[in-house]
A = this chain, B = another copy of it.
Amino acid sequence: MPGSHCTKGIQKNISSSTSAASSSPATTFTELQPLMADTDLPSEHGNSQENRKEKDPVQPGPTNLQRARARFLKGISYFSGDMKVFGKWMEKQFFLLQLLDWVLRGAAQVMFVNNPLSGLIIFAGLILQNYWWALNGFVGTLFATISALILQQNRGAIAAGLYGYNGILVGLLMAVFSNKGDWYWWLLLPNIFMSMMCPIVSSALASINSRWDLPVFTLPFNILVCLHMVATGHYNYNFPQVLIQPRSQLPNITWAEIDVAKLFTSVPVGIGQVYGCDKPWTGGIFIISLFISSPITCAHAVLGSAVGMVSGLALAAPFGDIYFGLWGYNCVLACIAIGGMFYALTWQVHLLAITCAFFCAYLSAAIANIMSTFGLPACTWPFCLSALTFLLLTTGTNKIFKLPLANVTYPEKNLGFFWKLKKQEKMERAKKAEKESEEQQKAIKENIILNEKEQLRLEHERMEKGMAESEASEDENDETHVEDHWVEQQGTGDEEMGHNDLTEVTLGDYD
């Protein structure tokens, strides 16, 4: 059957052109390729490798420089991104080692980073800041993870550290805001209780937020730390909190006294304040830990902190607050969340992230003032509320694409996911157009065939009449020719049919 053979040939061509199309953007963005190595779906993965093999002989062999670079990128991919390979390897290890992996990932997940190495560096930064705080943070993460295991929460989410990040913040901030000073061991009791409540509150909030496909962010941390602080308050024997009071007079702001150096260090300090740390070096270490996993996240973190600082100046905040990074940390988180994490990064989304950071700065001033009435810090409420608001936004443009929550990984991989989707859409549209034009051609051909058949029939009739009159020798030749032509056309039709079927199968794979 030549038709079916022909179909196979077309199939090959199409799939190779598909892979060519899908590999082209990878070359325009080579730096990030190792990060996106596992972007492809498994089904396609095989195809693309196969095709690469096919193409390799055609292309000239890679130079030594290219090879070295490839090896370098391959090496990077082992400890950047979400360290998937390491995570898979961990699954077969001893339980306590696994738990450590989860705790480290949980520590990094505060910044939306699912990477144990980043988590390790973050713990290093915390130790640099304060031993006691670091201990409390570790205890918090550990018990939050254990509680999630007891409550039989989703194992994948636990392994990604998604039940730990609220725990580390609860542990840290309860230590930071305790008025009893460091090494007040009784504090570990409410710390453990509140950490173990984290998965419960997370699960409850997720039940609500999942209706709008929204994450819970650090809402459980905000709720639980505020709960602990306001339940005990400043005037308490067992667990007193630092005194926070609302502003009741004009702050002393003299523009001449501004310290530009401190203003610049406020950018890393703002990043450090995400974990309640005020040392610039700790903030710097956190920046490194972000860069390791995802440069886009790192860039938006710095940008967010800068936006917060500028907003503080614009709204005439006391310089002390700005230097202390209080205007930065919420903007850092909001800018990361919108800028590539939950939206696919385009220029429009980048602008949206900056807008969100400004809005978040405004909101953090507002919430800090409101919370101070109850003797509470702003925690990360401003980030949660502003990011949720911007994630609930619906627009008519397809340049602002909100990733389905299940597909969120890290900005580079999200971007790969978005590009693939767009390419598929384009290809589908192209194929649809192609199909339509083919159908039109087919319709034309069919018309021709029908006309020819009609002629044939007429000739037959004439022939029959002619047979009676014995004038049929020329006509018979004609008929055979027409039949040949018809068979040819039919064959072409089959090919097209096969092609169309194939198209549908290919599209079906993408769905």
Contacts and interface: CB of A to CB of B under 8 A. Distances in A.
A211 B211 CA distance: 10
A339 B64 CA distance: 69
A29 to B, nearest CB: 27
Interface residues of A, number: 58
A390 B231 contact: no
Interface stretch (A31-39, A95-103, A146-154, A265-273): A146-154
Nearest to A206: B394
A369 B365 contact: no
A13 interface: no
A187 to B, nearest CB: 13
B152 A397 contact: yes
Interface stretch (A235-243, A428-436, A462-470, A477-485): A235-243
A258 interface: no
A396 interface: yes
A262 to B, nearest CB: 19
Contacts of A204: 388-393
B393 A203 contact: yes
A373 B208 CA distance: 29
Nearest to A372: B374
A207 interface: yes
Contacts of A175: none
Given A236-B315, A238-B315, A203 B366 contact: no
Interface in A210-263: 211-212, 226-228, 230-233, 235-239, 247-251, 253
Nearest to A223: B389
Given A227-B363, A316-B236, A362-B228, A396 B203 contact: no
B230 A369 contact: yes
Contacts of A138: none
A200 to B, nearest CB: 6
B366 A226 contact: yes
A230 B396 contact: no
A358 B212 contact: no
Given A197-B359, A211-B211, A227 B374 contact: no
Majority SS of interface residues in chain A? helix
B374 A374 contact: no
A200 B253 contact: no
Given A362-B231, A365-B231, A373-B374, A389 B201 contact: yes
A419 interface: no
Nearest to A358: B193
A232 B392 CA distance: 26
Contacts of A388: 204
B237 A316 contact: yes
A248 B203 CA distance: 36
A395 interface: yes
B251 A200 contact: no
Give the 8 A-B CB pairs with smallest separation, nearest first: A152-B396, A204-B392, A231-B365, A231-B366, A237-B316, A238-B316, A207-B392, A230-B366
Interface of A: 151-154, 193, 197, 200-201, 203-208, 211-212, 226-228, 230-233, 235-239, 247-251, 253, 314-316, 355, 358-359, 362-363, 365-366, 369-370, 373-374, 388-397
22 contacts: A151-B393, A151-B395, A152-B397, A153-B396, A193-B362, A197-B359, A200-B390, A203-B394, A204-B389, A205-B392, A207-B393, A228-B366, A230-B365, A230-B366, A230-B370, A231-B362, A231-B365, A235-B247, A235-B248, A237-B250, A237-B316, A239-B316
